[in-house]
Structure 1
Amino acid sequence: MQITVVGSINLDFVATAPKLPRAGETVTGATLARHPGGKGANQALAAQRLMRGAPGDDEVLMIGRVGRDSMAEEAMALLLADDVDIGHVIADAEAPTGVALIAVDPEGENQIVVAAGANHLASPEQLPARIDCPLIVQLELPIDTVEAAVGRATEFVCVNLAPAAPVSDQLLRRADLIVVNETEAAFYGDLLHHGGGRVVVTKGAKGAVMYHRGVEMAWATPPKVRAVDATGAGDCFVGAITVALLEGMEPQAALTFACAAGAIAATRPGAQPSMPTRKEVDAILKAH
């Protein structure tokens, strides 16, 4: 099984603080860490680690853009380490590698500000003429590039409508799977359910629900864990639900699998470093 991910690649600067600041407030006593991130890269790594095959049997192809700078290598380090194919990632001399500034509190809640950098220069010209394998996209690249990728896909398409932004009705109708959180679901409203695909709304620690044409199909809750950092947990869920459905799991089992993967990710600091392996997800499901 091969999956193509068209999406963002960032370097995350994570400040873990005693609390999250209010508007105009300065919070001291934080510790700083740097981790590879970006919704696209996070989802690509999650899918790669969660596919059932042995190393080398499966392949995730990442299409994106970084700067021609020292941060690019750091941002893609874990993609390389886990054998994600980055041959279609362009290093751009005109813009820096994307950066996310993330504040995290002791309960794992976060605040995120993204400087897109080279991600916003990703263009339809960078895409292949056809994408003949399952596709995952998000909305951290220019919308016209995302729309072009979906339009060139010939197989299963997962659209993570995050961060929420206006998209065409054609994209919503083409998607076989739409994944949103509760805030994003409120932004799109009934438009989410106008197509023929399935829609999953994630609800954090409360779990996730799957709909088809507005009718609830399945519901699942994650195992109880101690959250450390929610950064990347939603991206882990997207990679996991895509892998589960492509492997033929029924909706209830697929949601349960994805909730477990996201829960594990929330127990670890950082986005990409938190992505679990298939063995870890299988183990927590067996234990619970």
Structure 2
Amino acid sequence: MAIETTATTQVAQARVTVVGSLNMDLVVQAPRLPAPGETLTGYAFAQVAGGKGGNQAVAAARLGAQVAFVGCLGADANGALLRAGLETEQIDCTALETHAAVASGVALIVVDDASQNAIVVVAGANGRLTAQSIARHDAVLAASQVVVCQLETPPQAIHAALASARRHGVTTILNPAPATAPLPEGWLALIDYLIPNEHEAAALTGLPVTSPATAARAAAQLRDGGARNVIVTLGAQGVLTLLEGCESVYHPAPKVHAVDTTAAGDTFIGALAAQLAQGVTAADAMVFAQRAAAFSVTRAGAQPSIPTLAELQG
């Protein structure tokens, strides 16, 4: 395995560090999502930077945080473009490793006329992130106020990142996406903010999650299991929050004309991280994040749809 990086990472003076995935998104627009075995004619194509980690890092950077990224790319054209895109956003890529023997991650996305999507992800270099990778860049995590993780990279690396952040007294956010089963034993105690969508909350708990009321039951189970705060995003229905020391609160979604929902959840998480890193209360940070996510669905694409702080304040 060839890694084009130095063994010692320069400490990034970042308020938010994102540990996670970078993908090149290949996006097709079609009248509807295809059925199994069906060939459907689309009418538009775009290639844009994505990956949950990349999207959340860009959102945090555009919405007021200094950001560092910990992850892996391939030594290919997509990898060069993804790195350049982060650097354009002033994201510190010191801890972004390049692996010569594997391709960068890609995602194949179909978006229909109702703004719903279907996504297939090939992890590629994202699968090379390890606990050893996290150890190489421990100083980056220690220099942060908030560390954000997802589940598009190997679980050993994510657990190592959460444990490192906890050891350094850094606030942790886990977006458990994709989630197909409960988290491993001991994980919830490492998480300050657990942010699943309704499908992920159901997978984590085994409970049906289709409404604010059912989301509240799932959130209570997850908080009882050790997560300090649980926020369940419910798409067009809004957000259910169960914050430390509080009862659950339902926040309806702002009314907007949705064009593409691809990066809405990632925008929410990046916005929340940026606010928490600045010392904003969890309740106020959630309201800001919901506004940012609502703005993002009014534009097409993943990272192209993420608003800037100036746009939200305008």
Matched residue, 1:286:
none
Q: Distance in 1 between matches of 2:104 and 2:39?
A: 27
- Percent identity, aligned pairs only, is 40
| Structure with the largest fraction of strand | 1
Matched residue, 2:5:
none
Matched residue, 1:281:
312
Quote the offset at 1:246 in angstroms. 3.1
Question: Given that residues 62 and 89 in structure 1 are in contact (C-alpha distance below 8 angstroms), is that contact kept between their aligned partners in structure 2?
Answer: yes
Question: Given that residues 193 and 227 in structure 2 are in contact (C-alpha distance below 8 angstroms), is that contact kept between their aligned partners in structure 1?
Answer: no
Matched residue, 1:152:
164
| TM superposition score normalised by structure 2 | 0.83
**Which deviations, in whole Å up to 9, do the C-alpha atoms of 1:141-178 show, x marking residues without a partner?**
00000001111112100011110045323221111100
Partner SS for 1:200: strand
Q: How many residues align?
A: 277
Partner SS for 1:260: helix
Question: Which of 75, 78, 84 is the equivalent residue of 1:71?
Answer: 78
Question: What does residue range 57-136 of structure 1 map to in structure 2 within 5 Å?
Answer: 58-127=65-134, 128-130=137-139, 131-132=141-142, 133=144, 134-136=146-148
Aligned-pair Cα RMSD in Å = 1.8
Cα 1:251–1:151 change in 2 (3 A) is closer
Quote the offset at 1:266 in angstroms. 1.0
Q: Distance in 1 between matches of 2:195 and 2:297?
A: 18
Quote the offset at 1:213 in angstroms. 6.6
Q: Distance in 1 between matches of 2:240 and 2:45?
A: 35
Matched residue, 1:47:
60
Find out whether 1:186 has 2:202 as its counterpart: yes
Of the structure 1 ranges 112-121 and 167-176, higher mean CA displacement relative to structure 2 is found in 167-176
Cα 1:223–1:196 change in 2 (3 A) is closer
**Which deviations, in whole Å up to 9, do the C-alpha atoms of 1:111-157 show, x marking residues without a partner?**
00000001001111112235212200000000000001111112100
Of the structure 1 ranges 263-272 and 162-171, higher mean CA displacement relative to structure 2 is found in 162-171
Q: Distance in 2 between matches of 1:88 and 1:118?
A: 14
Partner SS for 1:180: coil
Quote the offset at 1:31 in angstroms. 1.1
Matched residue, 2:237:
206
Q: Distance in 1 between matches of 2:116 and 2:18?
A: 26
Q: Which runs of 5+ in 2 are unaligned?
A: 1-13, 206-217
**Which deviations, in whole Å up to 9, do the C-alpha atoms of 1:175-224 show, x marking residues without a partner?**
11000000000111255221151000001111111114796443323322
Cα 1:213–1:2 change in 2 (3 A) is closer
**Which deviations, in whole Å up to 9, do the C-alpha atoms of 1:70-121 show, x marking residues without a partner?**
1112223331111101111111111100000000012211000000001001
